Amino acid sequence: MTGSAIHKRLVGYDWRQVAGGIVLLALAMGMAWPPLSWCGVVAAGSAAALLVVRWPWLIWLPLALLVPITSGLRIGAGTATDLLLAAGVALWFVDGARRQTLPLRGSPVVLLALLYVAAQYVSLFFAVDLREGAAEVIKWVELPVILLVVPTMVAHRQGRWLAAALVMGAAMQAALGLYQFINRVGPEYFVVMGRFMRASGVFAQPNPYGGFLGLALPVTLSLAVWAWSTVLQHGAQHWRETLWGVFYSAATLLIGAGLLASWSRGAWLGAVAGVLVVLVLRSRQAAFMSALVALLLIGLLLIGAFSPSLAPQPLVERLADLPVYFGLTDVLAQPVTDENFSVVERIAHWVAAQRMWEASPWFGVGVGNYAAVYPAVRLPRWEDALGHAHNIYLNVLGETGLLGLVTFLALWSGVLVWGWRQARSAGKNSAARWQAAVAIGVLGMVVHLTVHNLVDNLFVRGIVVYVGFWLALIHVDRYEVNP
């Protein structure tokens, strides 16, 4: 065969088919050599990548479902939550570039969140551990990022699935906690009543675990009320709302049971406050019933105070030292015993935070630097820093000073006002009623944060991201996203 004939034959080939065949052959060889389990992982990963490229909003579902788990997986200087969030922002950018638009629409909450981040950044100039401070700033930067990006990628219909993923994630943690509670899975010092174990989920500590469930409970309850209200108003034609009602009702019961199993007093108080807010705002009848329940609880507490034998003894013992947290006793002057150890330890850390603030009243000792500065301001006998002050307001005051505390309080006050306006301004159609249910649930969630954070710091293990998703869902129906 002459050279000219060979050239003509080569030119006649469709080189795209040849390249495709080479790629398929390479993939076949690549799947034949590695172990079968690796092939399954690669295939699943490829399928997931194709799905999120086609429907970018799907990237948020695994993060919403697994945020307590991914936040505990360290990957270099960050966590799996940080990587998933960065991937979501990257998809937003790529999809927006394809559409030749990058929509961003702010809100008052975004501005207030950025002001708080700015106050944290200023405090870094006084920090002794810049690495811890930078990690804390990055954690809070994720809040405005979620509020700016997620509503532009998620329409109302997708928002329902995102809310379901957030609820399912909390229900999974509740189920794990109940397993720990019943089967006594955990350290011996978590044993209660001699035969149960305080639930802690993947948080490893009962208090943040209870706080996480307490955040999910008001929103889940509000959505359950929304679903059943729709069914009662429109009958069997709204069968989808019936399924949603069953789902949210079951999740409410499961999350409530897991919350009780945490044996966390702060979580109990916060949950009661958050649930009462939801019930009061849902309807007048619910408000009346809530008042009766509140009076009943007050009566039970009075009975327990004057006649402890008439109340459940484990609850009496658990709630006996609550007056200490409100300054009704001078616990630091009392001898430390096994019964009051946790209370005295917590108040000792409050004093340490106060001393940090006195050292730098305007800008604090540096965000994220509580543990680093603690040895210089601690009380005698209390050497362990515990990571934070176990009171978010004192913690913020000590780390970021008056500037940080003012912006922090402005942020959550703004969330309450914004959520209330969203709930009141919603229309009468199905999407608007769903948005109002989410907004009312978010109000209960913020009330839980406000109460529980008096005795703890709940902004750990991805809870900032979790709260950010719920705040973003208030706005989903205001944006239209093409499939």
Q: For the ranges 212-216, 369-373, 424-428, which has the lowest average pLDDT? A: 424-428
Average pLDDT over residues 134-151: 94
Q: pLDDT tens, 89-128? A: 998 888 888 777 777 777 899 999 999 999 999 999 999 9
Closest to 364 measured CA to CA, from 396, 320, 342, 412 = 396
Q: Please, are residues 336 and 344 in contact by the beta-carbon 8 Å criterion?
A: yes
Q: What is the pTM of this model?
A: 0.83
Q: How high is the pLDDT of residue 127? A: 92
pLDDT of residue 186: 86
Distance of CA 174 to the CA centre of its chain: 14
What mean pLDDT comes out for the span 189-197?
85
Q: What average pLDDT is seen over the chain?
A: 81
pLDDT at 416: 94
Asked if residue 462 lies in contact with residue 69, where contact means CB atoms within 8 angstroms, the answer is no
85 or 320: which carries more pLDDT confidence? Answer: 85
Q: Is the Cβ–Cβ distance between 133 and 370 less than 8 Å?
A: no
Determine the Cα–Cα distance for residues 337 and 85; give it in Å rounded to an integer: 45
Q: Look at residue 478 in the predicted model and tell me its pLDDT.
A: 47
Choice among 34-38, 110-114, 354-358 with the minimum mean pLDDT: 34-38
pLDDT for position 75: 83
pLDDT, residue 250, reads: 96
**pLDDT at residue 191, rounded to an integer:** 87
pLDDT of 122 reads 95
| Backbone angles phi and psi of 402, in degrees to 5 | -60, -35
Residue 320 has pLDDT above 70, yes or no: no
State the pLDDT confidence band at 21, using cuts at 50, 70 and 90.
low
Band of the pLDDT at 483, cuts 50, 70, 90?
very low
Among 137-141, 296-300, 354-358, 383-387, name the one with the lowest average pLDDT. Answer: 296-300
Question: Could you give phi then psi for residue 338, rounded to 5 degrees?
Answer: -60, -30
Do 203 and 169 contact (CB within 8 A), yes or no? no
The tens digit of pLDDT for each residue in 37-55 reads 555 555 565 666 666 667 7
Q: Tens of pLDDT along 432-449? A: 889 899 999 999 999 999
> What does the pLDDT read at residue 294?
62
Is residue 156 scored above 70 in pLDDT? Answer: yes
> What pLDDT was estimated at residue 433?
86
Q: In the predicted model, is pLDDT for residue 479 greater than 60?
A: no
Does residue 235 carry a pLDDT above 90? no
